[in-house]
Amino acid sequence: MISTSITRRYAEALISIGVEEDSCEKFETELTKIKNTLDENIELRNVLYSSVYPIKERKGILKEVLKRLDVSKNVENFFNLLIDKKRIEFFPHIFKRYGEILDQIVGRVRAKVIVAKDMPEELVSKLKESLERHSGKEVLLEIQKDPTIIGGVITKLGNVVFDGSIRTQLEKIKKSIVRGEEG
């Protein structure tokens, strides 16, 4: 089970260092590079997350990876601490919490947009502008393709879902027809 207090504590600690040094967004960029590297390299992730390998060996591997990714000394120290404290496996959750805290600090919100196929850049820009007007904040879009929605767009902005998918519209029509047959 993931401890939210652990993820919160570590994320807040790194944020506080970032605030002191005006490096919060730089840290986020570095953390993203590390997360992407670990997501793409399962073997590396398994070695770093496993207590089977000695701490010294894992730190040596980590040092080489972080050097190649060109991350700051503070982020390197943060990852060494995660290994020392046997918290490295919490990194994906710490990363997510870090982003949430940073979003609050800088006044932005993340939106997930689900589409059946690629959207033209012009439509993406218009959607982003519309969401920014609606939320009053800067919006970071994550676009995900899901052909099962058939067409249209599903947008998740915080806890609000705007479902304009054809699949949902067809389901509503089907329910309406079924209700009509029952009446």
Q: Which tens digits make up the pLDDT trace of 88-111?
A: 999 999 999 999 999 999 999 999
**What CA–CA distance (Å, rounded) separates 43 from 50?**
11
What residues are paired with 154 via a beta bridge?
114, 163
What would the mean pLDDT of 140-156 be, rounded to a whole number? 91
Flag whether pLDDT at 181 surpasses 80.
no
Residue type, 25: E
Which residue from 93, 99, 92, 153 is spatially nearest to 123, judged by alpha carbons? 153
* Higher pLDDT, residue 183 or 123: 123
* Number of neighbours of residue 49 by Cβ within 10 angstroms: 18
Which tokens in the block code for residue 144?
A: 């995900």
Q: Would you say residue 183 has pLDDT above 80?
A: no
Cα distance between residue 35 and residue 55, in whole Å: 20
Per-residue pLDDT tens digits for 15-58: 999 999 999 999 999 999 999 999 999 999 999 999 999 999 99
Structural domains present in the chain: 4-104 (1.10.520.20), 108-182 (no CATH)
